[in-house]
Amino acid sequence: MTTTAARPDPARPPEPAGLAGPVEAAAPAESVPLAGLVEPPEPADLPGRLRAVRAHLRMYAVPGPDRADSTDLPGAHGTPHSAGSSDITDVHEAFEADARPRGGTPPEPDWLAVLARRCGLSPFERDVLALAAGCALDPSLAELCARAHGDPARPFATFGLALAALPGPHWDAVAPDGPLRALALVELDTHAGGLVGARLGVDERVLLALVGLDVADPRLAELAETVAPAGDALPARHGLLLERAAACWAADETAPLVLWGRAGDRRCFERALAHRLGAPRLWRLEAAALPADPAEAAGLVARFAREARLTGSPVVLDLDDADPAQLAAARRWARRLGASARRVVLSSAEPVTGLPAGTFALELPDVTLAENVGLWNAALGPAAALLDGQVERFAGQFRLPADQLRAAATDL
């Protein structure tokens, strides 16, 4: 049994479009070869992996003296997979079906492979996720799990079953700091057994991501506001700071960003930053809403960390109107979120102190008259020439954030 997981290297190969943010390289395939079978390259997409996982479960569940008990975990006795000729045929068919051309239509992105790269999953962890998700998507796979458990009352995946039946098992996949649990990719129902016997579930956010749908996490949406990115023109100096922020995060996404200035300017900058990063949204969380309960806080951090891997969406901690205790809590959250969720912004009317080394700070200066004239001209477009010099008057009288300025220009 492998004792440590094969982890992705720092390289970042191309991936299908549709999910924004950093991309992890695919880990090299690690598996236990079946007797008499030279394995072809493994399918990485969800349907292909489910076919392969189903074949491994069928081999594990073969009745007779060669069948291993679901509690006889690999590493304790080195139990091999038992394979009949029909099971080897199943595995061959799974690989061949995955490689078969699908007419003239372009192939669907391999969302399981994308998620595995982004979350740094080993091949075994990827298959554990495929198994748990497959039980939610396909009742027949859940029935096969019950057969493998030898108990019709247990139609679900467990770490114990995965360690016993799937290739390339390693124990650190079960650890709380491993990506499956630290990023809330699987959920443990310990009422159904101990750690290895607990039911493995996958919540709706992950299931939808595995089929290529990006839907904001509903549990996060209960506490945080989801804000759409915007590509509105920024004042010239704000635009330079935007590029600086993007460059800083390109070098180190775990470094918190402290942003201070006028509230309207900060909100426009934050939306423009999300747009610059290609994120589908940003999360805005008020300091007063940060949970104090440790278990709730840990769950929230895990979900934000998961969102960071799935979409690269920044998290903004809004410190306006925060009292000293809430500011202290926000500093602690910035450290935790920066280490796990990445792309964290502390947004405040004043500078924030007491943050860890590596934090970078940006002050948004007040917009000058010349910059405001430029914003009005950009918002009005060709209509600016028809206003007979009135743009300067508007710019002198109305000092608005970029999004409000654009709306006002539309009404003229």
DSSP of 163-204: HHHSSS--GGGGSTTSHHHHTTSSEEEGGGSSTTTSEEE--H
Where does the pLDDT of residue 403 fall: very low under 50, low under 70, confident under 90, or very high at 90 and above?
Answer: low
Contact assessment for residue 369 and residue 395, using Cβ atoms and an 8 Å cutoff = yes
Question: What is the rounded distance in angstroms from the CA atom of residue 160 to the CA atom of residue 137?
Answer: 21
Which stretches does DSSP call E strand in 190-276? 199-201, 225-227, 257-260
Read off the pLDDT band of 63 (50, 70, 90). low
Q: What is the pLDDT of residue 81?
A: 41
Residue 18 has pLDDT above 60, yes or no: no
Which pLDDT score, from 0 to 100, does residue 381 have? Answer: 64
Query: Would you state the pLDDT for residue 389?
Result: 64
Q: Which carries the bigger pLDDT value, residue 96 or residue 203?
A: 203
Per-residue model confidence (pLDDT) at position 220: 94
How sure is the predictor about 335, in pLDDT bands with cuts at 50, 70 and 90?
A: confident
pLDDT confidence bin for 22, thresholds 50/70/90: very low
- Tell me the per-residue pLDDT of 156-169, one tens digit each, with 9 for 90 and over: 999 999 999 999 99
Question: Residues of 294-306 as b/e, b for ≥16 C-beta within 10 angstroms?
Answer: eeebeebbbbbbb
| pLDDT value of residue 26 | 31
- Asked if the model's pLDDT at residue 38 lies above 80, the reply is no
Dist. CA 362–CA 243, nearest whole Å: 11
pLDDT band at 356 (very low <50, low <70, confident <90, very high): confident
pLDDT tens digits along 238-268: 999 999 999 999 999 989 999 999 998 999 9
Contact 49, 112 (CB under 8 A): yes
More confident residue, 388 or 206: 206
| pLDDT band per the 50, 70, 90 thresholds, residue 75 | very low
Residues 128 and 163 sit within 8 Å (Cβ to Cβ): no
Given this model, what pLDDT does residue 404 score?
72
pLDDT reading at 229 higher than 50: yes
Q: What residue has token string 């995946």? A: 157
Domains in the chain with CATH codes = 46-210 (no CATH), 219-363 (3.40.50), 369-411 (no CATH)
Mean pLDDT confidence for 52-65: 78
Q: Are 144 and 57 in contact (CB under 8 A)?
A: yes
Check residues 78 and 394 and name the one with the higher pLDDT: 394
Going by pLDDT thresholds of 50, 70 and 90, the confidence category of residue 179 is: very high
For residue 316, the cross-strand partners are 284, 345
At 408 the pLDDT is 63
Minimum mean pLDDT range among 167-171, 189-193, 283-287, 346-350? 189-193
Q: Which of 31-45, 106-120, 310-324, 328-342 has the lowest mean pLDDT?
A: 31-45
Asked whether the predicted pLDDT for residue 16 surpasses 70, the reply is no
* Residue 194, C-beta contacts closer than 8 angstroms, at least 6 positions apart: none
* Residue 123, pLDDT score: 94
pLDDT computed for residue 285 by the predictor: 94
At 357 the pLDDT is 79
What pLDDT, on a 0 to 100 scale, did the predictor assign at position 411?
Answer: 58
> Which of 3-12, 92-101, 123-132, 184-193 has the largest mean confidence?
123-132
Instruction: Please give the mean pLDDT across all residues of the chain.
Output: 77
Q: Rounded to an integer, what distance in angstroms lies between the CA atom of residue 196 and that of residue 74?
A: 12
- Name the residue with higher pLDDT: 65 or 142: 142
- 3 state SS of 33: coil
